[in-house]
Amino acid sequence: MGTWGNVELTLFDLLGQRATLAGGAYEAGEHLVRWDGRDQLGRDLPSGVYLCYMRAEGWTQTRRRLIR
């Protein structure tokens, strides 16, 4: 299996705060990402609605998620 290329998985709250959950080159296939509920600066992000943005080699997808 080769790499799928550069992947980015980022959460944004409705105020624009950002938490990057994954980034870099990944092998093709399924992956599990665990998030500790903190942003890039280590601050806890509150529960609420977040936009989950994923980008990989010419493909992007954004989904709305409720995080508690």
Give the HSE-up count for residue 39: Cα atoms under 13 Å, Cβ half-sphere. Answer: 13
Structural tokens at position 53: 């943005």
Longest CA span, the chain: 39
Residue 55's CB: how many other CB atoms inside 10 A?
16
The DSSP secondary-structure symbol of 68 reads -
- 48 forms bridges with which residues in the sheet? 67
pLDDT single digits (tens) 49-64: 999 999 988 899 999 9
Q: What is the pTM of this model?
A: 0.76
Structural tokens at position 28: 């093709």
Q: Mean pLDDT, the chain, as a whole number? A: 86
